[in-house]
Structure 1
Amino acid sequence: MDTQLNEEDKTTLLQWIGVEAPLSLLYKMSRDGCNPWTFHTKCDCKGPTITVMYNGNNTVYGGYTSQNWNSSSNGYFAWDQRAFLFKLRYNGKSVAKKYPIKADKCGYAIYCRNNYGPSFGESHDLPYFEKDISASNGVYQLNRCNYGNDSTTYIMGGDEEEAIYNNEASVRDLEYCQELKEYVQNFCPYEKTSVDKAKILLLGEVGSGKSSFFNTVNSIFAGFVTFQAISGSAQKSLTNTFRTYHIRDGKAGKMLNFKLCDTKGLEKEGGIDPHDFLYILDGNMPDKHMLNPDLPLSPETQGFVKSPSAKDKIHLVAIVIDATIVDVMTEESIETIKSFQKKLYQRGMISL
């Protein structure tokens, strides 16, 4: 059996995830060994990833998570509403079936522990390994799923649980692929703009996770968990300065060709001042400027950039929204975001 994804399989997976980016192979069991330590060394803190398994029944299946894998000594379940299981081939025939996570099971999407390989679901909904396993005639015998009375964490759509992996827990190979990191690593601004690094402003309500988003992106490329930006849960914005963060590819690697900018959150009182927001967009506000709603930035402020170049200006605004409260956002919150979007459109800018 061919133990690699064909182009049709890759296209199907990327359509399910909703991205157009090449897949990058991080870990391959037949090459790197069936060992939890090796798996975590190669795969922790890498962001969204795809796990693909190939068994002796010519069945190809696996799971996707948008969350990081981590080497926790105590073990924990990670929350992920975007996670899903999938089956691409069954007895050698193309089947392409996706199994989304149940709405009330998002808190059990994946299980992270230092002596486990990749594990999906509250009851290990796919075969998994929790120790070193040697191949026998090219086959690795993994642990079977343990559904018990709780069934699966994922919506089976009428299929039996074992139908995903064709009732065969042994695998000939397991691959762990990254769907976006390499694409971002190779990003370059359009050369005719004379901009060497794109500046992306993170905008959102207090508590939406702007600073946490930066910390996550920074951790993915650093290869370890970082907390460079102040983040947490509070009634008022924890970010009180305008910051421009560079992203380094690896501990001693080069700087990537984009920067993430963080500022105060949107709130009724004490949030980012609309005039300060325009100065940020236009490149007038210096890095590390202290944001004070009672003393907005002006051309007389020390450090004010009076003649900003294209490199100083914001090139894209990413609106960050807490997905857990999007259905209950107030009309006032929505109108506040729209009012700031309007200022972007007036400058011919776009937001994501």
Structure 2
Amino acid sequence: MAVTTRLTWNEEKILQKLLGNVSLSLLYKSSVHECSIGEMLDKCNHQGPTITVIYFHNCIVGAFLLGDYPQQGESYRNQNSFYFSLKTNKTETTEILNVEPRIISKKLEFYSSNDIIFSLIPQESKIFIHPSLLTPLGIKHLYSTNYLECEVFRVEGIKDDKSYIRRITGVAQYRNKLLSELRAYTPCADLVSKINILLLGPVGSGKSSFFNSVKSVFQGHVTRQAAVGSDVTSITELYRMYSIQDEKDGKSLPFILCDTMGLDEKEGAGLCMDDISHILEGCVPDRYHFRPQQPITSRHPTFITSPSLKDRIHCVAYVLDINCIDSLSFEMVAKFKQVQKIVLNYGESHVALLTKVKNYHGVLQEDFLNMNNTMTSQSQIMKIQAMLKIPISNILMVENYAPEWEQDPLKDVLILSALRQMLRTADDYLDDLPPGITGSIRPQALRPTL
């Protein structure tokens, strides 16, 4: 009878993506094979890169080895290994450590700076994890304990390149750094408690998908709260002000993503220009139903007549499908320029968000922070810069979560980086406000007195 893994389909996909879309071949399973270090070595020796997976009731931990398993009494120095944990089908974190794996007596031990940081005792079904790794791995109250199962997989299709492994784990580490930074973020100057980011763009450009993607990162699994689609008319008909709760502590994060009806090149279709002014001022309530030929007025029963600084928009993101930039019609470009004129008249900060960047995995072949050069041509960036007069540093790129059901650390890095730059741009806007501004700000209030 074939030996099958305990990993769920989703967990296996997460591990495959973590290592760069590899294949996993099961070599050893403790509940089927003998629970001894000898049996593990017989099954796992001379197999090349391996990943060892340890199962507990509420989480999974494991270790990746780029080279072969060590022989009894031997050790391998400077072998790139990293540790990971999975909890409720999502990757909590990864750590990369240059470790020295050894077989000591009946144990598989990993050393770093002469400390045992990870120790597996197969015949007792027990694992020891150094206390310093418990918090980074997202594990609580687990020091030395029995596990349910141990499996070892041969990793097939991975590059035998230590720098490649460093880039893979570097993405995961940078993702965690961005998450920590955004969780600790507070708006500049203590003028508002939350930043309002307005998403503006053509039908199908990825506005609602960007909100879903941001929420997915902070929830730890792919979500579909906002309806998305590819109809010729806008799927979004309601003005939505989406707040996001952090899965880590349940607290609401200090920003709101404001989703709108799509812009349309035809007159009398799509988001009405007059509605944009009211949105920027903070007069439009959540769940307002857009009417392309009938903009909201002060006579509307839910119109916010006296908005304050906390109600208005603090950053505008022009959302564009990067694959459609060359085919934007003259009418759509004119519509964007009309929108931008309104935004600039209000003194708003703004960025461009390019979505549907399909070749984002190419980042792994280079420095993953050098996203502009790796992910798209400079000509595309320059076209957006010329059209919207936006600094290149504020032209951001993402690949949203659309059909996928499992997360990708690299996608998360791009999404979080874009969000961070939006918040920084909003901080610049708040920092540049005239002293004492806390109430309603209309265009005339921002113009100098002659």
The answer to whether the 8 A contact 1:61-1:165 is kept is: no
Distance 1:339 1:54, change over 3 A: farther
The answer to whether the 8 A contact 1:198-1:258 is kept is: yes
1:181 alignment partner AA: L
2:284 alignment partner AA: M
1:287 alignment partner AA: D
Name the residue aligned to 2:53.
35
Count residues with an aligned counterpart: 223
Distance 1:53 1:319, change over 3 A: farther
Pair 1:290 & 2:284 matched: no
SS in 2 for 1:196: coil
Pair 1:322 & 2:306 matched: no
2:218 alignment partner AA: F
- Aligned with residue 143 of structure 1, among 155, 166, 190: 155
Unaligned runs of 5+ in 2: 1-50, 68-75, 83-87, 91-97, 99-148, 352-450
SS in 2 for 1:294: coil
CA shift for structure 1 position 298:
0.6
What is the rounded CA distance, in whole Å, between the counterparts of 1:222 and 1:308 in structure 2?
Answer: 31
Name the residue aligned to 2:259.
262
CA shift for structure 1 position 54:
6.8
Name the residue aligned to 1:8.
none
What is the rounded CA distance, in whole Å, between the counterparts of 1:166 and 1:190 in structure 2?
Answer: 38
Pair 1:187 & 2:199 matched: no
Name the residue aligned to 1:237.
234
1:145 alignment partner AA: G
TM-score (norm 2): 0.43
Greater Cα radius of gyration, structure 1 or 2: 2
Aligned identity (percent) is 33
Distance 1:319 1:144, change over 3 A: same
SS in 1 for 2:155: coil
Name the residue aligned to 2:304.
305
What is the rounded CA distance, in whole Å, between the counterparts of 1:327 and 1:59 in structure 2?
Answer: 47
Equivalences for residues 123-272 of structure 1 within 5 A: 142-145=154-157, 162=160, 164-165=161-162, 176-177=172-173, 178=175, 179-193=177-191, 195-250=192-247, 253-269=250-266, 270-272=269-271
Distance 1:57 1:303, change over 3 A: same
CA shift for structure 1 position 191:
3.3
Higher helix proportion (structure 1 or 2): 2
SS in 2 for 1:314: coil
What is the rounded CA distance, in whole Å, between the counterparts of 2:313 and 2:255 in structure 1?
Answer: 11
CA shift for structure 1 position 37:
7.5
SS in 2 for 1:35: strand
The answer to whether the 8 A contact 1:222-1:248 is kept is: yes
Distance 1:297 1:36, change over 3 A: farther
What is the rounded CA distance, in whole Å, between the counterparts of 1:345 and 1:295 in structure 2?
Answer: 24
Give deviations 1:32-70, integer Å, cap 9, x for gaps.
x832979xx789xxxxxxxx98765747699xxxxxxx9
CA shift for structure 1 position 296:
1.1
* Cα RMSD for the two superposed structures: 3.8
Unaligned runs of 5+ in 1: 1-32, 44-51, 63-69, 73-88, 90-130, 135-140, 147-160
The answer to whether the 8 A contact 1:283-1:312 is kept is: yes
Name the residue aligned to 2:334.
335
Distance 1:320 1:60, change over 3 A: farther
Distance 1:350 1:58, change over 3 A: same
CA shift for structure 1 position 280:
0.2
The answer to whether the 8 A contact 2:201-2:318 is kept is: yes
What is the rounded CA distance, in whole Å, between the counterparts of 1:42 and 1:207 in structure 2?
Answer: 38
What is the rounded CA distance, in whole Å, between the counterparts of 2:330 and 2:60 in structure 1?
Answer: 45
CA shift for structure 1 position 201:
0.6
Name the residue aligned to 1:350.
349
What is the rounded CA distance, in whole Å, between the counterparts of 2:299 and 2:234 in structure 1?
Answer: 26
What is the rounded CA distance, in whole Å, between the counterparts of 2:60 and 2:330 in structure 1?
Answer: 45
Farther-moved stretch of structure 1 (243-252 vs 328-337)? 328-337
CA shift for structure 1 position 258:
0.4
Distance 1:334 1:143, change over 3 A: same
What is the rounded CA distance, in whole Å, between the counterparts of 2:272 and 2:202 in structure 1?
Answer: 13
